[in-house]
A and B are shown apart, each in its own frame.
Chain A
């Protein structure tokens, strides 16, 4: 079985958030990580590899620096890494990004494509389903469990108040929730090996069956009219009292605000 996993390198928002004095986000000071939902997707692929035997190829689109997440994925156990990077691909919205990734994936053999549900920077959850549309294969979003049965996948697909157990013929695309699993750590041997392996680097010319009109900033139907860092409302009061005084403090505030 051949599995393609799409991953994105994103700024780390958990714990490592840095703010400028004016309360806006200091992106330059923030570390990058493999997007958590994507990492869960990779872990799901590696578990299928452990269980059924599979070749796992990790694909990312980004700046040359995004090679770091491919090395990390290979240190965790992925077999191959493909970096799609080209100046003309920059500034892409989800339509242009999914067009690009589909163009890269057309060069690969696959039974299964796994993406994260959404990235923590954009939070759109669009790229996975859009890739499946470009490749004309079924999509199962929000996967909380994945099993293989013959030439089909059986997936628990999460909704707000239920889940569906869904069966699809491969090839198929699945978007993974970070609740799916606890990703494994890289091993020292794996890290060593990951840096010995070649990473495939593709540019615009390597993308299959894509039109220039659908790539990069120019090929993005959505345009940013305005973007600003959100200025949050400031902190209110903060008190450090003994438990009884804390209780009186809260009760007083609820009275003042006419809650009780």
Chain B
């Protein structure tokens, strides 16, 4: 592998139902930073069926070039045709960096493609930067410059590792959603669009989609919410989430939950905060009846203000809460809602 041949920062521009996912714009924002440090360009790889018209949107969010792989086999996400498309793009265009969102699609596509093109993949990155490997010069080992340094939490968020991929290309990372910043769209920006089709011949690895069942869309994505009222097993029942919904409504917030609540079938998966759910960083996070397992904390500890209500004074959630209230949520939450209603009415008054 001649590493010098590999140039440019590439982003897998995920689309679902021919609508570009937010993560694609986030990755473009980060890719622009990295490309500036490396003095190179940003290329978005758009894969799907009937998707050519989406290319300009990617340009507005920072793509200099868009490679479009458009084929009927790529209508809905399936591992094999998408892996074939992305691996073929990598083999033909030789990017030095390939970023993929750490979504339910990207966390399947990324590993399959990295194994196919024989390179490393760092999962669920939260920080990406250009630097040296090793970080400090070591006698007897060549220090390589302009490497992608990929930082990620592991062990339920208890350890942080910075990883490099010094001797293979591309340097591949999946990146957590909601962490990187999109740029302000540049209206009217046009990308240099290039179409590429490596040919798709169905084989044993092409699975058949028999049905697609969409869950009822929640109105607000918890990752975008400024105030989250989050409930855990301590809320006691799905019906009792009503008191959390009332509190959220008064504050203009949104209800989210812990994994235990999803596992019990009380709330859908897209409201789950934590290591296997979503990472959130609202202005205010209410943790109500949530014990605070580290997997949960990993998904919410970056919130500006954390307020915890729990009857167990030893619950680990109090270790990360700015304001911890030991007490019965059933007594406190409804009264809190009423008090806030009165306060807000008075302020408007």
Interface residues of A (CB under 8 A from B): 11, 13-15, 17, 25, 93-95, 98, 118, 120-130, 132-134, 136-142, 154, 158-169, 179, 220-230, 232-244, 246-251, 253-255, 257, 259-260
Contacts and interface: CB of A to CB of B under 8 A. Distances in A.
B111 A126 contact: yes
Nearest to A95: B120
A180 B77 CA distance: 22
Given A160-B104, A239-B325, A249-B323, A221 B207 contact: no
A119 to B, nearest CB: 10
A223 B322 contact: no
B347 A260 contact: yes
B160 A17 contact: no
Contact of B158 (A125, A230, A240): A230
Contacts of B186: none
Given A25-B155, A246-B327, A165 B209 contact: yes
Interface stretch (B27-35, B47-55, B192-200, B332-340): B332-340
- State the majority secondary structure of interface residues on A: mixed
A158 B104 contact: yes
B108 A167 contact: no
B105 interface: yes
Interface in B138-167: 149, 153-167
Given A141-B108, A250-B336, A251-B340, A225 B149 contact: yes
A33 to B, nearest CB: 13
25 contacts: A94-B111, A95-B114, A125-B107, A126-B121, A130-B112, A130-B115, A133-B112, A139-B79, A139-B108, A141-B104, A163-B212, A164-B212, A167-B208, A222-B120, A225-B134, A228-B161, A230-B159, A230-B160, A232-B320, A235-B324, A240-B327, A243-B335, A247-B336, A251-B340, A257-B305
Contacts of A13: 155-156, 158, 293-295
Contacts of A121: 154-155
B344 interface: yes
Given A141-B108, A222-B122, A236 B115 contact: no
Contact of A223 (B156, B165, B309): B165
B12 to A, nearest CB: 15
B163 A123 contact: no
A154 B167 CA distance: 40
Q: How large is the interface on B (under 10, 10 to 19, 20 to 34, 35 or more residues)?
A: 35 or more
Contacts of B210: 154, 165-167
Contact of B156 (A93, A120, A163): A120
A212 B107 CA distance: 27
Contacts of B322: 236-237, 253
B123 A123 contact: yes
A159 B160 contact: no
B336 A238 contact: no
Pick the most buried of A11, A133, A235: most chain B CB atoms within 10 A of its CB. A133
- DSSP class of B's interface residues: helix, strand, loop or mixed? mixed
A94 B111 CA distance: 9
A227 B332 CA distance: 42
A228 B105 CA distance: 29
B339 A251 contact: yes
Contacts of B108: 125, 129, 139, 141-142
Given A98-B115, A166-B208, A226-B161, 9 more contacts: A13-B156, A166-B210, A179-B262, A235-B320, A235-B324, A240-B325, A247-B339, A259-B305, A260-B347
Nearest to A98: B115
B339 A249 contact: no
A54 to B, nearest CB: 21
A126 B107 CA distance: 7
A179 B263 contact: yes
Contacts of A179: 262-263
B115 A237 contact: no
Nearest to B103: A160
A139 B78 CA distance: 10
Contact of B313 (A118, A159, A164, A238): A238
Contacts of B16: 159
A140 B110 CA distance: 14
A221 B211 CA distance: 38
Contacts of B165: 221-223
A247 to B, nearest CB: 5
Contact of B204 (A94, A128, A137): A137
Contacts of B339: 247-248, 251
Contact of A259 (B154, B207, B283): B283
A160 B111 contact: no
Contacts of A14: 293, 295
B215 A161 contact: yes
B123 A125 contact: yes
A239 B326 contact: yes
Best-buried of B153, B326, B344 by chain A (most CB within 10 Å): B326
B169 to A, nearest CB: 10
A172 to B, nearest CB: 8
Q: Which 5 pairs show the lowest CB-CB distances between chains A and B?
A: A221-B120, A222-B120, A133-B115, A238-B324, A236-B322
B116 interface: yes
Contact of A240 (B157, B321, B326, B344): B326
B283 A130 contact: no
Nearest to A220: B120
Interface in B168-200: 168
Contact of B213 (A165, A225, A229, A234): A165
